[in-house]
Amino acid sequence: MAILTILYYPDPRLYQVAKPVARVDATIRRLVNDMAETMYAVPGIGLAATQVDMHLQVIVIDISEDKSQLQVFINPKIVNSSGSQDYEEGCLSVPGIYENVTRAEKITVEALGVDGKPFKLGAERLLAVCIQHEIDHLKGKVFVEYLSQLKQARIKNKLKKRLRVTM
Ligand code: GNR
Ligand code: NI
């Protein structure tokens, strides 16, 4: 296993669109393991392959209290959504920034598991937020893009300044 390097907004590689996984093989299983290790190390509740500069449709999520419930979504598709909810979101690629985003309250997602088998899952509240946030990453979208242009500009400046100080 390995800890992977996370890209920081506004890195242009975060805007790349991820390709579907053709076959869930040993390479993909290794990517899933490394992404999970990286997510737990930071720590975060989700991670999309885009964030570690791998442009494949792979997501890991664990919203459990004791970090014992890893969920893997390969080639995920939201096939149903309803309602709306506001949630104060953060992102490992936008460290230290927390802003309210409105998303669907309930979703149904279809994906492949790490065993390569298709499954269908209903999700609501935080899990629904997290799945939508991660699928956005796969489409090259970061949550700050839901905010006003002014807020986006301020966040970019803040992160660029911080990078200058710490690197
Ligand atoms: O760790 C994370 N926490 C979080 C909190 C509220 C809404 C979404 C998230 S996802 C984030 C991890 C991350 O950046 N995934 O892409
Ligand atoms: Ni994120």
pLDDT tens, 76-86? 999 999 999 99
pLDDT tens, 87-120? 999 999 999 999 999 999 999 999 999 999 999 9
Three-class HEC string of 81-94: EECCEEEEECCCCC
Q: What is the four-CA torsion angle of 163, 35, 112, 63, rounded to 10 degrees?
A: -80
pLDDT tens, 108-152? 999 999 999 999 999 999 999 999 999 999 999 999 999 999 999
| 134 catalytic residue (yes or no) | yes
Residue of 8, 51, 85, 91 to mutate, ligand 1, most atoms within 8 A of C-beta: 91
